């Protein structure tokens, strides 16, 4: 049974969304995905440049290719960290399973080509930070639009550590920097909700 969340208010959608790491096999339609990407499109961005692009992966062979390429690189990195073979295999299998069993994967990529250029590194770094902040806004819009439609998402940061591998696996242009892997589908079960800090712990000054 899929949840009908179309009647929810914005605060209910914001507080109701949660990360999902296991999905039902039920497919997600192209229309639903378009609705999520449309929400991403309206995110705020530095100078209005929209420094993000999205790769959508729905076909099982493409998901497998992505999971295997990323997994091989990740195994190599975990071995460099000195992790033992059994731990590496467990972590690899968990991550691989999450990617191949998600009905859809969206890979949000940072696209810096149209940002302002500065002669100094400090301001250039600030420009890049703005673009990354904006990518986060676009992703959150997407997560909320998914939740509103009864879908669920999970955020995997792995592409940040292996951007070239993700680019190669999906034949993405060199100008795109994969920043995350968003799994999309219908939750297999309602996950445990992570608590939040009280607002008074977060607001450090109000005068
Ligand atoms: C930038 C970022 C990276 C994240 N990376 C991962 C990840 O690699 N694996 C994972 O299971 N969850 C990841 N998450 C999800 C967080 O663990 C999750 O949002 C947090 O624990 C709060 O839980 P909630 O989303 O259910 O409210 C990531 C979230 C963000 C914003």
Structural domains in the chain? Answer: 10-188 (3.40.109.10)
Predicted confidence (pLDDT) at residue 1 exceeds the cutoff of 90: no
pLDDT at 8: 98
Predicted confidence (pLDDT) at residue 25 exceeds the cutoff of 80: yes
pLDDT at 90: 93
- Quick check: 114 and 72 in contact, CB under 8 A? no
DSSP state, 187?
B
Predicted confidence (pLDDT) at residue 169 exceeds the cutoff of 90: yes
Tell whether ligand 1 has an atom less than 6 A from the beta carbon of residue 49.
no
Task: Output the average pLDDT for the chain.
Answer: 96
Element (H, E) at 86: helix 85-101
Q: List, in sequence order, every residue forming a beta bridge with 53; answer none if it has no partner.
A: 109
CA–CA separation, 92 vs 64, rounded Å?
A: 13
pLDDT at 27: 97
Give the residue-averaged pLDDT of 141-151: 98
Tell whether ligand 1 has an atom less than 6 A from the beta carbon of residue 156.
yes
From the list 111, 17, 115, 97, the residue with the least C-alpha distance to 55 is 111
CA–CA separation, 89 vs 91, rounded Å?
A: 6
Spacing, Cα 109 to ligand 1 middle (Å): 17
172 three-class SS: coil
Spacing, Cα 117 to ligand 1 middle (Å): 32
78 three-class SS: helix
Closest residue to atom 22 of ligand 1, CA basis = 194
- Quick check: 149 and 16 in contact, CB under 8 A? no
* pTM, rounded to two decimals: 0.97
Residue percentage of the chain with pLDDT more than 70: 100
Tell whether ligand 1 has an atom less than 6 A from the beta carbon of residue 157.
yes
- Quick check: 102 and 182 in contact, CB under 8 A? no
From the list 189, 170, 143, 144, the residue with the least C-alpha distance to 58 is 170
């Amino acid at each position: 049974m899929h949840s009908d969340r179309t009647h929810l208010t914005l605060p209910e959608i914001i507080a109701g969304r949660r990360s999902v790491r296991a999905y039902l096999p039920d497919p997600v339609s192209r229309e639903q995905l378009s609705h999520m990407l449309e929400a991403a499109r309206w995110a705020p961005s530095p100078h209005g440049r929209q420094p993000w692009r999205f790769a959508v992966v729905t076909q099982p062979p493409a998901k497998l290719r992505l999971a295997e390429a990323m997994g091989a690189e990740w195994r190599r990195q975990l071995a460099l960290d000195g992790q033992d073979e059994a731990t590496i295999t467990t972590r690899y299998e968990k991550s691989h399973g999450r990617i191949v069993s998600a009905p859809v994967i969206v890979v949000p990529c940072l696209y810096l080509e149209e940002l302002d250029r500065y002669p100094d590194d400090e301001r250039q770094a600030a420009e890049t930070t703005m673009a990354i902040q904006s990518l986060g806004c676009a992703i959150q819009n997407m997560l909320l639009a998914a939740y509103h439609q009864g879908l669920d998402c999970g955020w995997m940061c792995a592409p940040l550590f292996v951007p070239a591998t993700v680019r190669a696996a999906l034949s993405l242009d060199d100008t795109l920097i994969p920043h995350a892997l968003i799994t999309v589908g219908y939750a297999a079960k309602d996950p445990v909700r992570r608590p939040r800090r009280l607002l008074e712990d977060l607001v450090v000054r109000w005068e």
